[in-house]
Chain A
Amino acid sequence: QSVLTQPPSVSAAPGQKVTIFCSGGSSNIGISSVSWYQQFPGTAPRLLISEDYKRPSGTPDRFSGSKSGTSGTLGITGLQTGDEADYYCAAWDGSLSALVFGGGTKLTVL
């Protein structure tokens, strides 16, 4: 059971927009920023979004992040088949003094 909650899967058609939610609590997202990671099968995760909304170099502006209260959101516009991957959110938990992850969301581009 992950500390942060994500939907197991989302799907949308190419060119459409999808939103992935990450729900936490007052000890993690409520006080910490959210980061997002993209992982293709058999490869290491890659940082997609840091500190709620910041895009590292290499992250297309089709990807966006936001946070409200104890939830974070990853938005992907102009979906491409190459976006099919697993997406994970993470945040520092002040009570655990640990980085906690969501269970991951599998994105399918139909």
Chain B
Amino acid sequence: QLQLQESGPGLVKPSETLSLTCSVSGGSISDNNWYWGWIRQAPGKGLEWIATIKYTGYTYHYPSLKSRVTISVDTSQNQFSLRLSPVTAADTAVYYCARQASGLGSFLDHWGQGIMVTVSS
């Protein structure tokens, strides 16, 4: 059974870099049928898709975040990562990783449990 698990610091200072990793188990991140994405949810707010990556390194980003986001994949570790820099208080959110179907039929079928990241000095 496919499982995803986010990891990283729960507290980041303003203007610094948020770095998260998603570890995938029960399946291969190199599966050609899938992308691997990041989604966040600010406290009391809705879901916001951030970016997605395929094992080949091909990426898509949400336009308003693109300049601050780096998404990468490590097939040897079956992991993918998110870096967001510089951060502000507005980046405080629960960050989820998920498996994503590509193209016009896109959907997110397996999600991690989420990790709360607070941006504060």
Contact = CB atoms under 8 A, between A and B. Distances in A.
- Interface residue range, chain B: 20 to 34
B108 A98 contact: no
A44 B109 contact: no
A60 interface: no
Interface stretch (A11-19, A45-53, A70-78): A45-53
Given A56-B109, A98-B60, A31 B104 contact: yes
Nearest to A91: B106
A31 B112 CA distance: 28
Interface SS majority for chain B: strand
Interface in B64-121: 96, 100-101, 103-114
A92 B102 CA distance: 9
Interface of B: 37, 46-49, 52, 60-63, 96, 100-101, 103-114
A102 interface: yes
B111 A103 contact: no
B113 A44 contact: yes
Interface of A: 2, 31-33, 35, 37, 39, 43-47, 50-51, 56, 88, 90-92, 94, 96-104
24 contacts: A2-B46, A32-B106, A33-B104, A33-B106, A35-B106, A44-B96, A45-B47, A45-B96, A45-B111, A47-B111, A51-B105, A51-B107, A88-B47, A90-B47, A90-B49, A91-B106, A94-B104, A98-B62, A99-B49, A99-B106, A101-B46, A101-B47, A101-B49, A102-B46
A86 B99 CA distance: 21
